[in-house]
Amino acid sequence: MERIAICPGSFDPVTNGHIDIITRGARIFDKLYVVVLNNESKHPLFSVEERVALLKETTKDIPKVEVDSYSGLLVDYAKKVGAIANIRGLRAVSDFEYEMSITAMNRLLDQNLETFFIMTRNQYSFLSSSIVKEVARHEADISELVPEVVENALRKKNAENNK
């Protein structure tokens, strides 16, 4: 039986911390779907299509990874692809508190979907997409925070928004 997992997120934009969690999750499972969720409560800088394209580019060399998008309940997507696990990255205790409530709701909706938490590596413990966007908006160096293709996309997007 193929062990399939999902790694959901907004990925606005994808960071080196995300790539680390994706890479480590892909080593554990036979197939890993990285899923861009369309969260209507957030106001993303990049469209869903742009985020999917950036993720496809940045994960193209990671075996067993497939990038997709979904608008709906995560448990429904998991059932659609036959996933048995949900992979979530944790940076700090505050992440755990948030993730615990999401996990409890997912478990209420689908008892068979397990959640696996992967602790981020120390060098990414401060890193978030929000921080990256703010630093990039002020034209500071983000080369150690995101893959090069994402850095270029952020510069282009910021230039478009500053016209």
**Active-site hit among 42, 80, 155, 156:** 42
Identify whether 91 is a catalytic site residue.
Answer: yes
Identify whether 129 is a catalytic site residue.
Answer: yes
Identify whether 18 is a catalytic site residue.
Answer: yes
- Which tokens hold the place of 56? 């496809």
The vertex-106 CA angle with 7 and 17, nearest 5°, equals 25
Cis status, amide bond into 13, omega within 30 of 0? yes
Alpha-carbon gap, residue 136 to 118, rounded angstroms: 27
**Active-site hit among 24, 91, 107, 157:** 91
- Which tokens hold the place of 67? 């990038």
Identify whether 94 is a catalytic site residue.
Answer: no
**Active-site hit among 18, 51, 88, 133:** 18
The half-sphere exposure of 68 on its side-chain side, counting CA atoms within 13 A, is 18
Give me the active site residues, please: 18, 42, 91, 129
